Each structure stands twice: as structure tokens, then as C-alpha cells.
Structure 1
Amino acid sequence: MLPDEGRYASVAWEMLATGDWLTPTLNGLPFFHKPPLFYWTSGAALALTGHTAFAARAGSLVGAVLGAYALYLFTLRWCGEEKAGRTVPVLLAQPLFFLGAQFANLDTLVAGCITATILCLAHTALCFESNQDYRRSLLLAYLLAALGVLAKGLIGFVLPAMVIFLWLLVRRRWRSLWALISLPGLLLFLLVAAPWFVLMQQRFDGFLHYFFIVQHFQRFASGGFNNVEPFWFYPVALAVCSLPCLFWTKKAFSRSYWRAADGVLPDVRLLMGLTVICIVLFFSLPQSKLIGYIIPAVPALAWLMADLAFEIIQSERARWWWSVSVLASALIGLAVVGALVVKQSYSAKPLSLVLQQQIKPQEPVYMLKEYVYDLPFYARLKQPVKIVEDWQNARQSHRDNWRTELLDAAAFNPVLAKATLLPMESVGISLCQDGGAWLIGRSEMPKDFPFLAQAEQVTASHGQVLWHINAQQAEALGCAKAGSQ
């Protein structure tokens, strides 16, 4: 699906194709919207298992497995085998979690890291409070937080720190808070998380400002980006996406649920409740909202739904209806996947496969007034494409789109940008110099580029057309004439 899956799969592919596993690139240009853990994971899967969409989604699958397994182990240790066995199926049946595990973007990977970090820190605190060894799990928590930073930036440790701090504050466990502060843990965190950022700053002046100030703080505080939604968007979206299991949680509004229990169960319930509240509130503050951002709240909510349901189930009939609720959640996720498989109008895969079969090694590819994110991945392109657009007007827009992404990336490699981001008036001259090329654009592009009337239309799919101009046709254009067009 575009743009996310095409973008992130192509970045992972470019890492594998170029052999540069340090610098993420989008069409050859340094792409620093996000850190590299997803690209490393999916790129490694592409190298090990072959060039498949499944491998391109490996980063998301790893994040989902990490989050689910951490929830299972934590629940098993502190709440028993029965609760662990009934909690994880509820999580796996949630449409947001199920779909996120199969969607090639960074949300589920960082959600898994955040979930595992929170639970590992909570496990450490509970071990400390019960006079059990906690040092190894504390180091593991710092390691997981570092991976969270490499997955999507500062939220990898900010959200776990916020949740655990409030959890200990409400429980008045000040000694536990001090026990979680570890100099060896901090050193491990820096050894894992910091080197990539240091290396990128050494390679690209201004990287740290762009990554942290622009892509973190300005995006969080500014309302000028896409997907502007009201404050209540995430609570409503999370509730709707958790139906029908959410119907069984009415006891959550009872004070007795949070207090009347044996052992550490009240502490675990409080942890899960605060996790959901903190994550929902945190992501509700910015005006720009995407549904995937809320996935870190899903494991804790799934735990609460499973726990609350069995608090009120009193009969076999009630258990049967609860099973139907979980099954219905799973079927919703399967139905969405099935619909996307049947209708793939969002993908340029058919056109890309034709290009892959027919393109010659030295033939360039042009994209006309649109960057088709998934084409480099499906066509297995190893060289950047040339993108033709009115870049002067594009620079005046602050909307978050492919133009902004490429113009931001161009600042880190202006030489390559000059060769690949072509103004509309220069496309004819460039084609003459290349002596033939492949071009992709919408079916109405001949209105803006008259020379396409002389090109061979190779194939078309979902409103996009693939043209080919051979060396003789390019030469026949005449560079001077083409330049005027």
C-alpha cells in the first residue's frame, strides 16, 4: 500500500542493493525521517529469504512477535499460566495489531519495542520489591529502549519512562524508581543507540538538527503537517478498533476492579491501565494523527479486555459469547486483508514487473509529476530514477508528501539531487542525452509532455502508463526542440 509500504520497503531494498547499510536512502538521497532499525531488519530478510513482500514486512512482524511474547512472559511470571494463555490470543485477534504486523512501516516495530521495554522495567521493579535478582532484566530494559530509539526515535524511551514513572509514583515506590536508574544500563543504551546518530552527523552536517528538531519536536508541536484530527480521534479510533471485545470491559469503571485482588494483580492492572492512558494522551496532543501511532496501546488494552472479561464471566454461555467476540475481532482483520488482496488498485506492481523484465542495465527510468514509491522495489531498480516536476512551486509547499521528502533529502546530497530531480523544462534535453529511457506517469501526461505521443506505450495499470523511448526516438526529438518543451 502507498505511500508507507512502498516507501519503507524501497528504502530497505536500496540498502541491500547499494550495500550501504548505514545511510537510509530514498531514490538514492539520504532519507532521515526515521532511524534505520526497520530497514536493517527488512533488508536482512530480503537478503536471506529472497525478494518478497513478506520479507519487506519483516520489521513489522518482528515488532509484533516481540510485543506479544513480552506480554506473554510478563503475564506468565506475575499472573500465572491461565491469564497468559488467554491474554495473547486476544491481542493477536485485535485488528490493529493483526494488520500492523503485516504492514511495512515503523509503527508495529516501535510498538513492540515500547511494550517490551515497559514490561521489562515493570518486571525489574517488581523483582526489586520482592527482593529478587533484577540486574539482568534491568540491562535488558535499557537494551530494549535503545532498540526503540533505533526503531523510531525518542519515543522509544520517552514513553516507557513516562509510563513507569507514573506507575511508581501512583504506587509511591520511590526506592524502586531509584533502583531502575543504572549507570551500566545507560552505558549499554548509549553503546547501542548512539553510534548511528554520531556517524550520520559526521557524514551529513545538519543531520542531528533535522532528525531531532525538525522531525521530532517541530512535527510534534506543529499543525502544518497532514492528517490533522481532533483531540478525541485516538480514544474513539482505539475503542472502535477494539470492538466487540471492548463490550466486556464495563467493570473497568468499578473501583473494586483496580483494588480487590491478591498479590501483584492490582499493580499489573494499574500498569496496563496507565500504559493505555499515557500512550493515548501523548499521541493525542499533536494535531497530526495517523492510526498506526496508537498501536503501542493495543497490547495493554488487550490484557485489560481479557482480564475484565473473565472477571464478569459467570457461565458457559458467557464464555461462549466471549469466544465469539474474540473470533469476530479476528475475522475483521482477516476481512480487511482479504479485501486488500482482492483489490490492488493501490499498487504499481503489475507495471513494475513489466519494467523489470524489459529494462536494460543502462536505461534510465523517469517518473513524471509523481514518485511511485513501490516501483523501485518491485522492479528491483539499482539506480535512482529521474523525477520530473515543477520543483520551484513544490519548494513553497509545507505539506508532508513525496515532494517534501525528496526536497528535504536533496539538502544532504545536492549533487545527486540535481541529476535526479529534474524541472519540467529540462526533461527533453535529458532524454536526448540518455539516448532512450522508460517513463511512468498518469494517462493524462501527454498533455504536459507532447513528446510522449512518439513514445511506445508498453503497458498501463490503474491509470498509470509505462512508456518506452528508444535511442532512435530520443534522437529524433532533437535536443533543442525537446528542451523547449
Structure 2
Amino acid sequence: MGSSARPALLLAICALLFLLGLGTLGLTDRDEGSNAEAAREMVESGDWVTPTLNGVPRFAKPVFTYWLISGSYLAFGVNEFTARLPSALFGTALVLMQYAFVSRLFGPAVGLRAALMLLLNIEILAIGRLVLTDMVMMFFTTVSIFSFFLAMWGEGKAKRWYWGFYIGMGLATLTKGPVGLLVPLLAVVPYLWLTRRWRDVLRECRPLAGTLVFLAVAAPWYTAMFMLHGSGYADSARGDTLTRFFSVIGGHGGTVLFYVPILLLGFFPWSGFLPATLVQALQGSRSAVAQDRQRHLQILCAVWIAAVFVFFSLSSTRLPHYIAPLFPAAALLVAASWDRLLSEEGGRWGRFSLWFTLGIGGCLGLAFIGVDWAYDRFNAQILLEFPAAAQVGPGWAPTAIGFLILGGMGLFGYAALTAGKIGVSFGIASSVMAGAVMLILTVALPQFNRHFIAPPQELAAIAGLNLDATDQLVAYGRPKPSLLF
């Protein structure tokens, strides 16, 4: 495949999986509805500093994502598609950046594999299709870490990449608060300690000037908010960060093992290879060859994955998308080890990775096939919680997805165990994931949307056509943000 064909292929796949039906699904509550409506109110009010929700200042998230969504509204109109467009575009940019960075260090074949592994999993595809801050933040934290590595291993003018390290952290902090600063530091600081490189880096990274650059990017908006809203903003921002770590917010708790199934299922079909690649990357890391850039990048990725995973596992408030910033590292690490693990050189770790992947796929496929049984078995409980479920059943899509996964994993296992078919095995795994996502997007989600997501917005649309300018729409109980939108 030619050098220009690979990015074109990635761009086409991203366009299909991120943009197909992007505006047909109603906004989910609460985060999507809140973010989309806050951006709409920003455009309406012309206040580009203080986000509001239903006219009340919204301090939950910093402003950068609201600016992006507002820009999308101004360019293309206000609707669900334009609200989600920034996430889709930043997801595409993240995949293309992954390809460019990995190709530079491992070659274009591994670069393409790493980019596709980053794209073709449930976690990234979901985040890239929702009105959340996470995809934008993940792009900037990845920019920061990649820039750090390029600067550390560069000579002369390449040292300028350190500015990308600081600017990336600044923009990530402007997108989602202190976690945007924390994620790059969680990856970089333990890596420097582990490889004994911290003295060299500290001499050349200009930390004082870098801190000033970081503050120049992130501080002006925070300063403006504090000047406008005083301690009220400071208390709210502190509560949304420190309190989230030490206390359960919104009922989003769980045990310290919460993210184990999230990572295994969210990064499927590549997650089965993570344990082996992590162990092998960290073995002998303190004695790694000084000039082996590929080896050091694998160590950095392993530390990046472990540190982010442990940090968010220790946090009291847990949501599935919190660990998304480790996915670029996970995709890079697995892609770099793919050929070796599936060859005879892979040994027992390779065999373990293969059978672990097949086991995850088997459980996931059976779970999809069992949706019909679960719907019948727990119908009374489902109807009690979701009365609209009486109007619709699971349909044939979950069963089709289940058999697709089971059949695909069988073909994947056969190809992986057949000499000379390692590339074919990757193609099969990628096709299974893409096919399952297409079934979800074109069959399962439209039906689910019609009965469980869209009704509040349809009600608001009908009310808007029948109410006079002086009339008010009253919602009983806690209003859904999507109703406001």
C-alpha cells in the first residue's frame, strides 16, 4: 500500500464510523444534553466566557469544548450532528496523529495497525460520537506525550517539541480541568524515574519557561472566571475535581476492579494482548538500552497505561470513559508486538494472548446472543424501570452481532494459528469490529433511540410549534438537559 493510500484509507474509515448517522440519535442525558445546550446558550447570549445551562452558570467543565461546539453551530446550524461534530473530528485527528507518530518510529505498516487498533474498539468509537469533553482532551494529552517523546529523543531543532508538551497540557486543562495536566505527568514522570533519564530531561526541557507557556494557554480563562464569579466558581471547580476523586458523585461508584471489564471489553478485540505486552515492556526497563527508541517508547506506553489505569481505579467516582486517555498507548503497544506475539517467537505469552482474546470474544458473543433470553427472563423488572420497553423488543441485531463475533473469532483464531496468516488475522479482527459497529449504528441504535432517547426532544419540538412566545414549558421533577436543547 502506498504512502498516501494509508492515510486516505484511515480517513475514509473514520468518516464512515464517526459520521454515519451522527445526527440521527437523540442527545443522551445528562452529559450530552447539558454540553450541547450550554454551547447553544453561549451562541445565543454571546457570552464566550461563562457557560450557562438553562440560564444558570455551568461550572462543571472548562470552556474549550463549548467553544468548539459553538463554532460548529455557527458554521453549520444547531442540531445533534453539529453538536457531536467536534468529537468526531478530533477522533479522526487522533487516529491520523497516531498513524503519523508510530510510522515515524516503527514504519508505516505498524503505524497503520496502531491507528486501526485505536479506532476499532467500542470505547473510542463511542466517545467520538458523543457530545463529551473526553475526545478533545484525549487528543491534547496524546499530543503532549508524543511531543515529549519526540523532544527527548530529538537533536537540535527537534527539542522544540517540548513546547508541544506544555501547550498540549495547557489545552487539555482548558478542556477538562486538572486531569488534562495530570494524564501527561502520570505517563512521563514515572517513565523518567524508571529509566533514570530525569536528570537529562530536566536540563533540556526548560521547565520554568514551559510552565509559563502552560499558564499562558490555560490560565486566562480560569482567571476571568474567578474574577467574574469569585469563590463560587472556585468552590464548584474544586468540588468537581477533588471531590470526584475522594467521594462518589452522581452514584457513579464501583470497586477498584471497575475498570478491568471496561478495558477488556472496551478495547476488544485487542485487549487480550495487553497483559503480555505490558509485562514484556516493563521487564528490564531500568536497564533498557540507552539508544533504543522503540524499546523506550514501549516502556513509556506501558507506564502510561498502568499509571492512568491505577489512578482512575483509586478514584471514588468511576465512569467507563475516564480511562480513555490510555487507549492510544494501548493500541501502540499491542501494534508494535502483534507480529512477534503471533509468531513462534511469541512463545507462551503469544499463546496466552491468543486464547485470552478468543475467550473474551466468546463471552462477548454469547452475551449478545443471550440478550433475547435476558429480556424475557427479566421482563417485569425492565418494564418497571423502562415502561417504553413494552413497545419494543431487542430485535434481531444483538443475535446477529453475537454470531458475527463468534464466527469472526473462530476465523481469527484459525488465521493466527496458521503460518504466514498473521496479517490476515489482523484483517479479520478489524472486520469483525467494524461489522459489529455498523450493525449497532444502522439497526440497533435507531430502534433504541425511537423509544428511549428521542421522546423528550420530540415533546419539546412539538411544544415549540404550539406555544406562544410568552408561554412557558414546565417539566415536573428534574428536567432533562436534552429537553432544554
TM-score range, shorter chain: 0.7 to 0.9
1:141 aligned residue (149, 152, 165): 165
Change in CA separation of 1:64 and 1:39 when aligned onto 2, cut-off 3 Å: same
Contact kept, 8 Å, 1:62 with 1:109, in 2: the verdict is no
**Equivalent residue for 1:229?**
254
Higher strand share: 1
Q: Does 1:73 align with 2:100?
A: yes
**Equivalent residue for 2:391?**
none
Alpha-carbon distance in 2 for matches of 1:250, 1:161: 23
**Equivalent residue for 1:132?**
156
Q: Percent identity?
A: 24
**Equivalent residue for 2:424?**
320
**Equivalent residue for 1:391?**
none
Shift of 1:62: 3.9
Query: TM-score, with normalisation over the residues of structure 2?
Result: 0.72
| Larger mean Cα displacement after TM superposition, 286-295 or 238-247 | 238-247
Contact kept, 8 Å, 1:249 with 1:308, in 2: the verdict is no
Contact kept, 8 Å, 1:60 with 1:104, in 2: the verdict is yes
**Equivalent residue for 1:122?**
149
Q: Does 1:376 align with 2:484?
A: yes
**Equivalent residue for 1:152?**
176
**Equivalent residue for 1:58?**
85
Aligned-partner SS, 2:481: coil
Aligned-partner SS, 2:470: coil
| Larger mean Cα displacement after TM superposition, 86-95 or 339-348 | 339-348
Shift of 1:165: 1.0
Alpha-carbon distance in 1 for matches of 2:294, 2:435: 31
Shift of 1:251: 4.1
Aligned-partner SS, 2:479: coil
Change in CA separation of 1:225 and 1:371 when aligned onto 2, cut-off 3 Å: closer
**Equivalent residue for 1:161?**
185
**Equivalent residue for 2:458?**
350
Deviations 1:355-374, CA, capped at 9 Å, x for gaps: 23333323222212131211
Aligned-partner SS, 1:366: coil
**Equivalent residue for 1:89?**
116
Alpha-carbon distance in 2 for matches of 1:115, 1:367: 41
Letter in 2 for 1:276: I
**Equivalent residue for 1:44?**
71
Deviations 1:213-269, CA, capped at 9 Å, x for gaps: 211112211235421111011122101222222334564266489669983111111
Aligned-partner SS, 2:230: coil
Shift of 1:64: 1.8
Map residues 296-335 of structure 1 onto 2, 5 A cutoff: 296-314=325-343, 315-335=419-439
Change in CA separation of 1:254 and 1:139 when aligned onto 2, cut-off 3 Å: closer
Size of the alignment, in residue pairs?
Answer: 374
Structure 1 gaps of 5+ residues are 378-485
Deviations 1:332-391, CA, capped at 9 Å, x for gaps: 4334434222221123222122123333323222212131211222xxxxxxxxxxxxxx
Contact kept, 8 Å, 1:111 with 1:295, in 2: the verdict is yes
Change in CA separation of 1:253 and 1:142 when aligned onto 2, cut-off 3 Å: closer
Alpha-carbon distance in 1 for matches of 2:420, 2:207: 49
**Equivalent residue for 2:125?**
98
Change in CA separation of 1:133 and 1:205 when aligned onto 2, cut-off 3 Å: same
Aligned-partner SS, 1:134: helix
- RMSD of aligned C-alpha atoms? 2.2
Contact kept, 8 Å, 2:274 with 2:330, in 1: the verdict is no
| Larger mean Cα displacement after TM superposition, 101-110 or 346-355 | 346-355
Letter in 1 for 2:208: L
Change in CA separation of 1:126 and 1:90 when aligned onto 2, cut-off 3 Å: same
Q: Does 1:194 align with 2:219?
A: yes
Shift of 1:181: 3.4
Deviations 1:124-169, CA, capped at 9 Å, x for gaps: 1111xxx332343111221111110111000111120121111111
| Larger mean Cα displacement after TM superposition, 337-346 or 280-289 | 337-346
| Larger mean Cα displacement after TM superposition, 315-324 or 31-40 | 315-324
Map residues 189-268 of structure 1 onto 2, 5 A cutoff: 189-223=214-248, 225-249=250-274, 251-252=276-277, 255=280, 263-268=292-297
**Equivalent residue for 2:208?**
183
The structure whose Rg is larger is 1
Map residues 464-479 of structure 1 onto 2, 5 A cutoff: none
Change in CA separation of 1:255 and 1:207 when aligned onto 2, cut-off 3 Å: same
Contact kept, 8 Å, 1:15 with 1:24, in 2: the verdict is yes
Contact kept, 8 Å, 2:59 with 2:237, in 1: the verdict is no
Contact kept, 8 Å, 1:245 with 1:322, in 2: the verdict is no
Letter in 2 for 1:300: A
Change in CA separation of 1:47 and 1:171 when aligned onto 2, cut-off 3 Å: same
Contact kept, 8 Å, 1:279 with 1:297, in 2: the verdict is yes
| Larger mean Cα displacement after TM superposition, 135-144 or 7-16 | 135-144
Change in CA separation of 1:59 and 1:282 when aligned onto 2, cut-off 3 Å: farther
Contact kept, 8 Å, 1:75 with 1:83, in 2: the verdict is yes
